[in-house]
Each structure stands twice: as structure tokens, then as C-alpha cells.
Structure 1
Amino acid sequence: MNYILFDGPFRNALLPFTYTRPVADIRVGILTIREKWEMVLGSTTTTITEDYLVSKFPMVEMEENTLINASYTPNEDLVEMIQNLKPNQVIYDGEVIVAFRATETQSEIDFDTFEPLFCPKSTISVKNAWSIFQLNGAAIEADFQLITKDRNSEPIPKKTIAFNSAQIFIEEGAKLPYCILNATNGPIYIGKDSEIMEGSMIRGPFALCEHSTLKMGSKIYGPTTIGPHSKVGGEVNNSVLFGYSNKAHDGFLGNSVIGEWCNLGADTNTSNLKNNYAEVRLWNYDSENFAKTGLQFCGLMMGDHSKCGINTMFNTGTVVGVSANVFGSGFPRNFIPSFSWGGHSGLTTYLPSKAFEVAKVVMQRRGEEFTEHDTAILTKVFELSEAYRRS
């Protein structure tokens, strides 16, 4: 069977992260959503996404295809339902289509002719930006069971203090001397060739993905995920860094999501609770206004390739788009459009030519190439976000 992950109706609610990737490539838990599906299905997947992303994330269609809404993560019951789907069957979550089976010739599908099935209530679905950190604990638990099943952890070093060691899994090549791992409230996963420097204190659920580093004396409260090839220091609480991003120095990051190729300067601090304890409102790209989240705790949402200078302060519920450069004293506004340059004193346009120069250097330092596909995607994001910069 050929499996295709499609963006579905929640793509815009997952901006700014879906400006530069399909929904399937969002990281929640230890793995991206795509990686989860490919592990449980034992198959590669392709994607139906926005036209400007297709060159980097192409779709492969065959005579028979099972299409899965990428906002939904796999569990045993849902996987079994999907693998047993027959032609003209569709799985619903309320009115939302979760999965269906189709043929290559079906350019238009009348779902009224399909037999309806219903999604298991236990399924984790990522339907807005803040649900990435909100659901991260359950996702880490599920991924931990998936990744570590029938495998043995590397031994915990003798001079590392560990609580509930049965829920700690260390991959080959990881270094973790003189640190404290507390898996009492959830599992701790330490990825291949990662490093936890001495004096770090970690409470699960927690995932440190491959080739990432926790700096000396880091304080990590779960549920937190540090994606691959990242460096993190200071204090972090219930946050997700997708990968290739740095928060290498002191400062607080809480109830936040950070995309790829981001850098938070020394002593950057995010507020995750309003002074009056009121519900947090967050920028909504569909309504082009701030909308209620139902959350009391919500920090920073930062899109790919964005940066901030030393001592930057972000107010509760701040959204920063793609390729923004934020700096200066005082609190910047709660919504910073993509390709913005500045801070509290005002914003100007960050020209793509300048942003691309930085991206090339940053990616080369990690052995990655800034490709023509990346240039085309970010150029389109610049165009899509123009109206926000004018306002």
C-alpha cells in the first residue's frame, strides 16, 4: 500500500511552522509525525501539501493509495483501522476526515458514497500551534514505547544520578557525566551521540535527540523535547525545539515551540504567564487578529530561521514568523511578521537577500546546504507575509 500524508484543515492553525514544512514534518514527542507513521507502517510516506512546498516535499501516487490526515498521530487502534481500510471507506473524527483509501483515477471524491468509520478517542491530534507543547508529554510517552520496544539501553554512567532508571533510555554514543535524571513523572530519552554536560538537572518526560547538547547546569522541566543538532542551556519548561536550533545560554523558555535554524541570544526570556493570570490570546493567521487559546500558560511560537539578540524579552503569547531578526530593549509586539527586523522600537523589512546570506552560513556550520528549494520556499513566505509587515 502507498501511504500519503495530507495537510488537512488545520494547516493554517499550525502557522508559522507550516510556512516551511508540511504538517507531517512537525515534531511532537521524540519523532516528527511523519517519522511516527513510517515506523508503525513499515513504509515510506509522501505528502499532499501547498504547491510552493512540493519541490522539496513531493507526492508519489500509485494505483491504490491510503491517505492520512497528518495532524493525527498513530496509535495501535488507529493504525489497525487504517491498515484494514477497504476501498470507499473513510475514517472520521467528528466532521474531519482522518484517513481514506482511494485510487489514482479519483480526481474528485464524493465522501457521501463512502462507508463512515470513526477515529478512536485515544488518538493524539495536533490541531493548533500550542497543542505541540500541550500534547508533548503524551507524545513522548508514546514515542518512547515505540522506539525502545525490545531494545536495551546503554548503561547509565556510575556518576550520573538517576531516578526510575527503567524509564531512561540512552542511545549509543551519548555522553552524560555528573548530571541528574529524574524519570519519576515520565520517560527520559537520550539520543545517539548527544551530550548532557555536567551539572544538568532533568525531569521527564524529556527527549534529547541525536547530536544535541545540553550545556552545563541546564535545568529542564518536562514535557520538553530538544530536536536533533541543537544546543540548549539555562531553564526550559514544557517546550519543543524542532531541531538545528540553539538556546545555548541562560534565560527562561517556557510553554513554547521553536522551529528549525533559530537562535535565542544569551539571557533571552519568555513570559509564559500574564501578570493578571488571564487567558492567553495568540495571533491567528486566518482571522488576522489575536484569538483566545483557553490557556493560562503560553510562551513563544517562533518560525524557522528566526533569531533574537541578547537580553531579548518576549511577552506572554508571542508569535514570531519565519526569518525574523528581533533585538533591542523592551518588549517587542506580540506578533512579529516573517522577514521583520527590529523590536520594541519598531520593525522594518528584513530583505530576503540578507536573510538568505545568514541562512547559508548557519546551515553550512551544521554540514547542511541551503538549497534552491529552500530559497524558493522562503521567497514565497516573504510574499505571503507582505501584508502583515505593511500593517
Structure 2
Amino acid sequence: MLENVNFFNDPLLVQAMRPLSYYRSLDQLWLGTSTIQDKWKAYPLPHPSAQMSILGSLIPDADITQAIRQLNPNSVLVQGNQVLAFTTEQGQHQTPLSLAKNKIEYIGKAQWIQHPEDLLVHQAAVLRHEIQPAPFDIEKYQALGNIILAPTNCYIHPSAQLKGCMLDASQGPIYIGEEVNLQMGTIIQGPAAFLKGSSTNLGAKIRPNTTIGPGCKVGGEINHSIFFPYSNKAHEGYIGSSVIGSYVNMGALTSNSNIKNDLKPVSIFDYSQSKQRNTGLKALGLIMGDFVTTGIHSKFNTGSVIGCHTNISSQGFLPKFIPSFTWGEYPKVQTYQMEKAKQVASQWISLKQQAIPENLAQVMEEIWKEEASFRT
């Protein structure tokens, strides 16, 4: 339960998490089988007399939960310069800065998401921790031509549909959620998760450490990636070591590189620094915002960052940073007109049978203003 619990956004982290943080708060980032906020539901925080605020990108575990549970009212838990949580008395509106006198240093190893690629760093461990295998009628699925290796490492919801698929959970657990539809020839290597209402096309190849979010449709080859809800990569092509936002639609054969030819660490564009930042990772592909459409044969280089509301294609490799509201075929691109972008975004939301947010236009205007300098 999360009574009397708020999740707060650290402005510096919000900026560092662009473009993924435009349409969601930090606690709504997807990792493993759920959002960060949903993960906290497994860690009770009884504090009836106090209002508790937790850093939105803080990943819960037993130790950090215990430390937060022990906080007295009007105190703040920190690690270094990062505020992790603070408590106030009911009805009071204090800030961590005003509680500095009651600051407690957390001596454990807190884990919080600071950059987009951190989601991929934590992905494998979180999937293994969260997927809870459960018995199921394996003969039912075998009769439909499915091959399931290490079925005791699998969770398959009774409403899921599998036909002629191969699931290999021998090296990690596999989660097949409610109303998932896996078409013939789909191959999945665990750890991996297909969340509610997601589906595959014929012959999809899903490699380890991958999450396919609710309502997504995928095909081709996907490796060590996280797809946020309601995105499509339905055709052939390779997406690896990537985080893909919501309402993305990738044209056939869209692919990305995720390892440099010289095997050096990958750098990506950092919104908070307005320049490239060395991630220290040897494998990193795409960080893609929401409402992105790619043309067929689109090719992305290692460590590419794509802003929101872009409609792009190219005969060669696309630039490593493409700001929001970019439209056209490189190198001849122009600014995506706001009214057209609003219309297309609304159409994609409706296509996925979701309600159009009341603040859609407002958020789009904010993105437009914030990235004006990048577009020039």
C-alpha cells in the first residue's frame, strides 16, 4: 500500500532523463515488468501520522525501504547530495532544504535512475527478481506446437495465446502476461517479459533482458531493450540495447547499431548538458522519445538519442541526435508543424484505444519551447 506516499521529481534528474521524462514523471518510468511506482507496492510503508515523499526514480529494495520506514517526521534521507526521501507532518508543506537539520545519510547502496541508459543497466537484475514463475498446463501449449524449455521458470497468464512458439527459460525467467498474443515462429530467450496486451508478428526473435510493454506489437529481432507502452516495431530489423518511448512506430527494417566498431565506450547526447556524454557502456543503441515514426530502412548509429514527435527517414545513417519536432528525410528535414504533430499524436493514441490526455497540447508546447535551440 502507498497511503500517505508521494513521489517527487528531482528537477536535475528530470532534465537528465530527457526525452523519456517529457510525458511521464520519474516514478512512471518502465523497468522490468512495471513502472517504478508500481514496484513500491510490494514494500509496505506504514506511516499513518506522516506524509512521506520518495524520489520518483529510486528503485525499492528491503534495505532502503527499512531506512525510509524508520524516518521520523520532518526528516530527510540522503545519499551524498541526492535526496532519497523525506517525511513531513500531515498538512505541512516543507521541502528537503527546510529539513536539513534532520538529515540522515543512508549508509547502504541506494539505486536510482539518473540517466536513460540506467534503465538498461538494471534491467536484467530487475527482471530476474520480479518474474515469479507459476505452474501452468504445459500440455495445452505443447498441443499447439509450442516448445517450452525450463517451464518451471515461466509465468504464462491463462488468457495468453501462444501457437508454434519456442520459449527458452533455461538461462532466465520468462513472463507472458494477460491477453498477450505470440504468433507462430516467435522465439523468446529469458529473462524477458511481455506485458498486458502485447503481441508479436510471425517469426519474432526476442533475446534476453527485454521488456515489451503493454499494447506493443513487435517483430524482427530485439535484444536487451525496454519498450514503453503502445509502441510498434512490427517488422524485420534489429533493435538492441535501447529504450523506446510510447506511441512509437518503426517502419520495416528499422535497425540500430549498439556496439562501436572499435569497442570503445558509447557516448550519447545529454539534454541536461546540451552535449555528448560518455556513458562508460560498451553496448548502447537508441534512446527514443514518444510519438516517433521512422521510415522503412531507417538506420540509427550507436548511442543515438531521438526526441519526441519526430517523423524521420534516411537512406544512410541518421544523426546521433535528432531533436523533437523534426520531420522529413535526412539531410532534407524541416520542423514538424505543431498542428500536424498534434493531429498525428492524437491518431496514434486513438489507434491504441487510449484516451487522449487533456494536457497533450500543453506538453507539446513545452517540448517545442524547451528544444527550440536544438532545432536551430
| TM-score range relative to shorter protein | over 0.9
Q: CA deviation at 1:115?
A: 4.5
User: Is the 1:193–1:210 contact (alpha carbons within 8 Å) kept by the matching residues of 2?
Assistant: yes
Distance 1:194 1:216 in 2: 14
2:116 corresponds to: 129
Note if 1:347 corresponds to 2:349: no
Distance 1:35 1:92 in 2: 22
User: Is the 1:360–1:369 contact (alpha carbons within 8 Å) kept by the matching residues of 2?
Assistant: no
* Coordinate RMSD, CA, aligned: 1.9
Q: Secondary structure of the equivalent of 1:222? A: coil
Q: CA deviation at 1:229?
A: 0.2
Q: CA deviation at 1:83?
A: 2.8
Amino acid at match of 1:19: Y
Distance 2:251 2:159 in 1: 29
Matched ranges for 1:91-102 at <5 A: 91-102=77-88
Amino acid at match of 2:31: V
Amino acid at match of 2:81: E
Q: CA deviation at 1:153?
A: 4.4
Distance 1:304 1:153 in 2: 37
Note if 1:232 corresponds to 2:235: no
Distance 1:119 1:344 in 2: 50
Q: Secondary structure of the equivalent of 2:359? A: helix
2:187 corresponds to: 201
Distance 2:281 2:107 in 1: 26
1:169 corresponds to: 155
Q: CA deviation at 1:363?
A: 1.4
Equivalent in 9, 19, 24 of residue 22 of structure 2: 19
Equivalent in 282, 292, 295 of residue 281 of structure 2: 295
TM-score by length of 2: 0.92
Distance 2:197 2:107 in 1: 36
TM-score by length of 1: 0.89
- How many corresponding residue pairs? 366
Distance 1:252 1:296 in 2: 17
Q: Structure 1's 172 and 80: CA in aligned 2 closer, same or farther, altered over 3 A? A: farther
Note if 1:314 corresponds to 2:300: yes
Note if 1:29 corresponds to 2:32: yes
1:52 corresponds to: none
1:55 corresponds to: none
Gaps of 5+ in 2: none
1:120 corresponds to: 108
2:4 corresponds to: 2
User: Is the 2:259–2:302 contact (alpha carbons within 8 Å) kept by the matching residues of 1?
Assistant: yes
Deviates more, 1:209-218 or 1:135-144: 135-144
Amino acid at match of 2:20: F
Amino acid at match of 2:117: W
Amino acid at match of 1:35: D
- Cα deviations by residue, 1:318-347 (Å, 9 ceiling, x for unpaired): 100010111131112110000111243132
User: Is the 2:200–2:218 contact (alpha carbons within 8 Å) kept by the matching residues of 1?
Assistant: yes
Q: Structure 1's 119 and 164: CA in aligned 2 closer, same or farther, altered over 3 A? A: farther
- Cα deviations by residue, 1:36-57 (Å, 9 ceiling, x for unpaired): 12343389xxxxxxxxxxxxxx
Amino acid at match of 1:139: V
1:254 corresponds to: 240
Distance 1:87 1:339 in 2: 45
2:129 corresponds to: 142
Q: Secondary structure of the equivalent of 1:356? A: helix
- Cα deviations by residue, 1:333-386 (Å, 9 ceiling, x for unpaired): 110000111243132100111011111211111211323311211121111111
- Cα deviations by residue, 1:55-109 (Å, 9 ceiling, x for unpaired): xxxxxxx983101011111112222332332213332223211112113324344
- Cα deviations by residue, 1:109-130 (Å, 9 ceiling, x for unpaired): 4343115141632x54211111
Amino acid at match of 2:290: D
1:155 corresponds to: 137
Amino acid at match of 1:294: G
